[in-house]
């Protein structure tokens, strides 16, 4: 039996915008369900909030997110980062360019001491990302 770990991001009220952005960067199919569609809230202000969303990419990445109901406290996650790694240099650099656009670069994407290319950024939605592109094997 296989397992997979999927990041699930929480937002106050802009999960749709964030997930559409991630889809534009990572590609894939995005599904969204609102509180109104699921009849999960009687609050008219919450009808269009995202109750659940999932982005599944051709590369096998899965990212999920939801908005926080008004009655719940929202605390942006600062102790978690989403890490992308692999050996497809062009694809991972494309992800990096998209995710870092409009955000803050903490560590530029460049060759790291361990031989890979590595960068850290926080996207425009406050989500921290790590990108690691495997270097060529030494030999």
62 close to 22: Cβ distance less than 8 angstroms: no
86 and 56 within one domain:
no
Distance CA 94, CA 82 (A): 16
116 and 85 within one domain:
yes
Residue 73 belongs to some domain of the structure: no
Q: Which domain holds residue 115?
A: 81-133
CATH number, domain with residue 29: 3.10.180.10
85 and 62 within one domain:
no
63 and 14 within one domain:
yes
63 and 29 within one domain:
yes
pTM check: above 0.85: no
Distance CA 22, CA 100 (A): 11
95 and 61 within one domain:
no
58 and 25 within one domain:
yes
Number of domains in the chain: 2
Question: pLDDT per position in the chain (139 positions), as tens?
Answer: 556 778 989 999 999 999 999 999 999 999 999 999 988 888 899 999 999 999 999 999 999 999 998 888 887 765 577 989 999 999 999 999 999 999 999 999 999 988 899 999 999 999 989 999 998 655 4
Contacting residues for 40 by C-beta, under 8 A, at least 6 apart: 51
Distance CA 129, CA 138 (A): 27
């Amino acid at each position: 039996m296989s397992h997979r770990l999927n990041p699930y991001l929480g937002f106050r009220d802009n999960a749709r915008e964030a997930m559409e952005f991630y889809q534009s960067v990572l590609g894939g199919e995005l599904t969204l369900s609102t509180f109104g569609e699921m009849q999960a809230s009687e609050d008219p202000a919450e009808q269009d909030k995202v109750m659940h969303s999932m982005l599944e990419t051709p590369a096998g990445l899965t990212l999920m997110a939801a908005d926080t109901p008004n009655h719940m406290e929202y605390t942006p996650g600062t102790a978690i980062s989403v890490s992308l790694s692999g050996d497809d240099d062009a694809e991972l650099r494309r992800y990096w360019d998209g995710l870092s656009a409009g955000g803050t670069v903490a560590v530029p994407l460049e060759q790291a001491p361990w031989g890979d290319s590595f960068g850290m950024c926080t996207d425009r939605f406050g989500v921290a990302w790590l990108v690691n592109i495997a270097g060529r094997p030494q030999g």
